[in-house]
Structures are given as C-alpha cells and as structure tokens.
Amino acid sequence: MMLEGKKALITGGARGIGKEIVVRFLSEGSSVYFIDINPSEFMDEYESLAKKTGAKVVFKQGNVSDEENITGVVEEILTESGGIDILVNNAGITRDNLLFRMTGKEWNDVISINLSSAFYISKIVARQMAKQKSGSIINVASIVGVIGNAGQSNYSSSKAGLIGLTKSMARELGSRTIRVNAVAPGFIRTAMTDKLNDAQKQALMTQIPLGRLGEAEEVAKVILFLASDLASYVTGQVVHITGGMGM
C-alpha cells in the first residue's frame, strides 16, 4: 500500500472529488481526518475501507472560511492524530456570475473558502510538519486558475491565488523537507455536468483533445501520487488533469 501508516488531513472530504480522495487514501492504508461543513453520506463506506486496511477515518465538522473556527478544529486533529503527514486542501465552492453582476459577497465567499482556508490550514499544519521534518501538501486548484473563464472571475482568481500560494510555500518549506504541489483539474464529470444537454456537452468536448470529461477518481489518483514517496523529488509543481485542455 502506497500510504501505509500515514495520516492525512483532507478538507472538503464529504463528497465529489474530496470523497474520491478519502476513498483512495484509505484504500492505500492512510488514516484520514477530513473536515467538511456537513457530515458525509459515505461514512459507512469510509469506515468499511478503514477497517480493511487497519486505518482510521475521523470526521470533523468545521467552517474552513472562519479562521478561528478552523484553527481550533485543525489543532484538535493534530493533537488527536499525533501529527499529520499529508494535507490536501480540497474545499471549494463556486458562485458564478458575470463581472458586472457579481456581488461583493459572491467574490468574498469564494476567495475565503477556496484560497484563504488553504492559507489558514497550511500555516498550522506546516508548522507541525516542520518539527517532524517531513510532509506533503497538495492544493486542489483548477485549470481556470491558469487560463481564466468567463463568468468565473472570483473562482478563477481564487484558484490562481492557490497556485501562487503553492509555489511560494514550496520555496519556503523545501528546506524543511516539506513538499508542496497543486493539481489543476479541467472538466470533471459531476452531478452538475450530468445535467448538461447534448449540445452543451459537445461544446465542452471540442475543448478537450481526449474527447471526454475526466472522472473524480482520476484526480484522486494524481493526488495520491503527489502524496506518496513516488513523488519524493517533486515540489512546486502544478499538474494539469484536463485531458489536454489548456496545454
């Protein structure tokens, strides 16, 4: 198992890509502490996987956009776990709107959850990783943080900021043997994309050389690689998971 004996902290682990990250990590032997605003409907599946590999799965409710709240939750996890080896900053939301119509709240909500939360949590966890002189941090960005997207100025900005945070942390923490990388997914099949009509799906396909949407599991596999010792000489990188879009 690629992560046997490791302990991971994952934000936004209740559903979507976060759910697949939790499943993949548990399957590879890592204990998982995950934070979300709501409990996960997949907790039974998580606990079954943990039992098979002798790992542990623990849910902590927390608001990642509230610095005081999330600081308390993360410090509680660090105390309970005895130390975290892997941090995945995955929590994120969208509040899409055209620039002229976007409200200050729509902007601030997205920046707060997608970007500021990664700063709050990384700051705490990296301090503990520095003491143990090892660790891997993976930030879940997006291809729109690289190429931009109409109607998503808040989301694109938050993900571009997350890429900048990744590179800065990689430079700052490398001497402590802490690796920091990001993934930039493209169009991934979700409940939202399942609702698109054929014409809308075809319009998406024209932008993707591989001619299909990605799967959340495919994103989780790349994150697993970056978290593992297979990526021991990889830091400061942004891995595009896009089917060739945006290259």
Q: Which of 157-161, 179-183, 189-193 has the lowest mean pLDDT?
A: 189-193
Q: Of 33, 46, 120, 155, which one is the catalytic site residue?
A: 155
18-56 pLDDT, tens digit each: 999 999 999 999 999 999 999 999 999 999 999 999 999
Do 36 and 64 contact (CB within 8 A), yes or no?
Answer: no
The whole-number pLDDT of residue 194 equals: 79
Instruction: Give the CATH number, domain containing residue 104.
Output: 3.40.50.720
- In this prediction the pTM is 0.96
Residue type, 77: I
For residues 76 and 124, give the distance between their C-alpha atoms in angstroms, rounded to a whole number: 11
DSSP string, 39-104: --TTHHHHHHHHHHHT--EEEEE--TT-HHHHHHHHHHHHHHHS--SEEEE-------B-TTT--H
Residue 202 domain flag: yes
pLDDT category of residue 204 using cuts at 50, 70 and 90: confident
15 three-state secondary structure: coil
Q: Which residues contact 141 (CB under 8 A, 6 or more apart)?
A: 159, 160, 162, 163, 166, 182, 183, 184, 238
For residues 204 and 235, give the distance between their C-alpha atoms in angstroms, rounded to a whole number: 31
173 three-state secondary structure: helix
Residue 63 has pLDDT above 80, yes or no: yes
The whole-number pLDDT of residue 196 equals: 77
Q: Is 155 a catalytic residue?
A: yes
Residue 13 domain flag: yes
CB atoms within 10 A of CB 192: 10
31 closest CA partner among 60, 57, 2? 57
The whole-number pLDDT of residue 202 equals: 87
Residue 66 has pLDDT above 80, yes or no: yes
Residue 82 has pLDDT above 70, yes or no: yes
pLDDT category of residue 192 using cuts at 50, 70 and 90: low
Residue 55 domain flag: yes
> What is the average pLDDT across 55-63?
98
Work out the mean pLDDT of the chain and round it to a whole number: 96
Residue 126 domain flag: yes
Residue 232 has pLDDT above 80, yes or no: yes
Q: Which residues pair with 136 in a beta bridge?
A: 86, 179
The whole-number pLDDT of residue 200 equals: 82
Residue 1 domain flag: no
116-165 pLDDT, tens digit each: 999 999 999 999 999 999 999 999 999 999 999 999 999 999 999 999 99
Residue 246 domain flag: no
Q: Would you state the structure tokens that stand for residue 23, as one six-digit string?
A: 């499943």
Q: Which residues pair with 240 in a beta bridge?
A: 184
Query: How is the beta sheet containing 178-185 ordered, strand by strand?
Result: 57-61, 31-36, 7-11, 86-89, 135-140, 178-185, 238-241
Residue 115 domain flag: yes
Do 181 and 163 contact (CB within 8 A), yes or no?
Answer: no
For residues 137 and 165, give the distance between their C-alpha atoms in angstroms, rounded to a whole number: 11
Residue 187 has pLDDT above 80, yes or no: yes
Do 137 and 119 contact (CB within 8 A), yes or no?
Answer: no
Domain range spanning residue 176? 7-240
Residue 195 has pLDDT above 80, yes or no: no
Domains held by the chain: number: 1
Residue 247 domain flag: no
